[in-house]
Amino acid sequence: FLEQSEGGIEFLHCAALKACPVGGVLDVLASYNKNEDRPTKHGAECASIGEVVLAQKHFPNENIVFDSPCKTIPELKYALSNSIHLNIDSLQELERVKLIYQSGETHKGGSIGLRVNPLVGAGALGMFSVATLHSKFGIPITSITAEEVADLPWINCLMLHTGSHGCGLDLLVDGVAKVVDFATKVNEISKKKRGAAQIRTFDIGGGVPAILSTENEICKFREYAQSLKERCPELFSGQFSKIVTEFGASMFARTGWVASRVEYTKEIIDEDQRRRTLVIIHAGADLFLRKCYAGTGCHPLSLHSSKGELLPVVELGEKHSLFGPLCFSGDELSEKNGSVEFARQAVPGDIVVVHNAGANVISLFNHHCSRNASQVIIFRSNEGDITLNSVRSEDSVQGTVAFWG
């Protein structure tokens, strides 16, 4: 994004905590802010007050964005009184914030934005598309006018988010273009009224395609920025003094994996008379909720010996189906009714690695069957030297039991 800028623009890249809220990972992002001369800063996008408080442990308040569509009045006051950027999600929320702002009791000078639904339609997956007519997110662009926004001079930001998985690059750029045009109209009106541009911050949300079903669907940030520059040159021209992004899965997905020992195996004979090994491991729908329940996400599987040696995937090798530990048949990590073929048959003690697990995995952990949430380890490589650091301990049985009261 910085490469496309003509200078004088601050970029704030807020990691969507819903994708990866692990404190040790956030510390890594926060460490990049130590260079105060960099025009690019890192922060957090929050979908709940819990995420806001978590973000405050790692980032300054001015680097935090609060986006929830279900904010209570106390939560609004908390954000406003702590100079946390607030994106208003509905006309009713706008009325609440207007009363709080006008009372002067809590607002401490933080920026306030409006989330606008650009109504550009859905991508390939409806559950991840949020710029449709029936979306619960944002104020439809047809429901508010530029004149109405210009009458609220304390609104200094517009935000949008078209969607994530299944939303192609063209759809994302279409959404940004519509809201940039809307912001330009607001600024034209505010310049006539007050002699200055009102919308100085533009929040493009997230949504860069990460991994849907194949590695080929990955979109690179540079490609997205170039497409935005071609379609919305105003975004990088200095019309806005600050650009905010809210990437989640595209930042984290490929940085992590889950490793589990094979606990048990079973053999069956398929209809084609070939042997298939059913593999039971300690990770399933409790971590890979979207994969198991909705069939979304690309999580390649690899098999390693008990010593960590990689056993390659081969054609016409040993057929395997991989299952998690939960008590229902849909707890399967291989493709439903499919298989993955390894060089040899898996045995208890082998290690299965589930890849592309850095986003929407530990953050979607659930207590179905009262399993313990797993340990999280950060690894770093520096000129071939690898260091490991545990940033989250595995839950104890007592802790899981305590969850239920």
Q: Are 261 and 128 in the same domain? A: no
Q: Best-predicted range by mean pLDDT among 1-15, 211-225, 234-248?
A: 234-248
Same domain, 248 and 277: no
At residue 133, the pLDDT reads 77
Same domain, 120 and 17: yes
Percent of the chain with pLDDT over 70: 93
Which of 199, 224, 253 is the C-terminal boundary of a domain? 253
Separation of alpha carbons 162 and 179, rounded Å: 11
Residue 233 inside a domain? The answer is yes
In a domain, 331, yes or no: yes
Backbone angles phi, psi at 297, to 5 degrees: 100, 145
User: Which pLDDT belongs to residue 54?
Assistant: 98
Last residue of a domain, one of 209, 225, 253: 253
- The domain boundary, picked from 232, 253, 274, lies at 253
pLDDT on residue 135: 82
Residue 317 covered by a domain: yes
Residues 296 and 206 reside in one and the same domain: no
Q: Residue 364 falls within a domain, yes or no?
A: yes
What is residue 316's predicted lDDT score, i.e. its pLDDT? 75
Domain that holds residue 14: 2-253
The percentage of the chain sitting over the pLDDT mark of 90, rounded to a whole number, equals 68
For the segment 8-32, the average pLDDT, to the nearest whole number, is: 95
Integer-rounded Cα radius of gyration of the chain: 24
Residue 234 sits in the same domain as residue 290: no
pLDDT band at residue 313 using 50, 70 and 90 as cut-offs: confident
- Most confident segment among 183-192, 212-221, 246-255: 183-192
Residue 92 sits in the same domain as residue 177: yes
Q: Do residues 183 and 140 lie in contact, with contact meaning Cβ atoms separated by under 8 Å?
A: no
Q: Looking at the structure, do residues 31 and 79 belong to the same domain, yes or no? A: yes
**pLDDT above 70: residue 108:** no
Q: pLDDT, tens digit, for every residue of 319-375?
A: 999 999 999 999 999 876 678 899 899 999 999 999 999 999 999 999 999 999 999
Domain CATH for 164: 3.20.20.10
Residues 300 and 219 grouped into a single domain: no
Considering the domain architecture, whether residues 123 and 210 belong to the same structural domain is answered as yes
Tally the domains of the chain: 2
Residues 39 and 132 occupy one common structural domain: yes
Q: What is the pLDDT of residues 23-48, one digit of tens each?
A: 999 999 999 998 877 778 999 999 99
User: So what's the pLDDT on residue 4?
Assistant: 74
Query: Does residue 376 fall inside a structural domain?
Result: no
Are the C-beta atoms of residues 287 and 257 closer than 8 Å to each other? no
**Among 7-16, 48-57, 160-169, 379-388, which stretch is predicted with the lowest mean pLDDT?**
160-169
Q: Are residues 112 and 185 in the same domain?
A: yes
In a domain, 394, yes or no: no
pLDDT given for residue 128 in this prediction: 67
Chain mean pLDDT for the chain: 90
Res. 137 pLDDT band, cuts 50 70 90 = confident
Q: Is residue 227 part of a domain?
A: yes
* Nearest partner of 107 among 97, 93, 96, judged by Cα: 97
List the CATH number of the domain containing 287. 2.40.37.10
* Residue 396 forms part of a structural domain: no
pLDDT at 124 over 70: no
Per-residue pLDDT reduced to its tens digit, 51-102 = 999 999 999 999 999 999 999 999 999 999 999 999 999 999 999 999 998 8
Question: Measured between alpha carbons, how far is residue 374 from residues 22, 97, 167, 290, 321 in Å?
Answer: 12, 40, 31, 18, 22
Whether residues 164 and 52 fall in one domain: yes
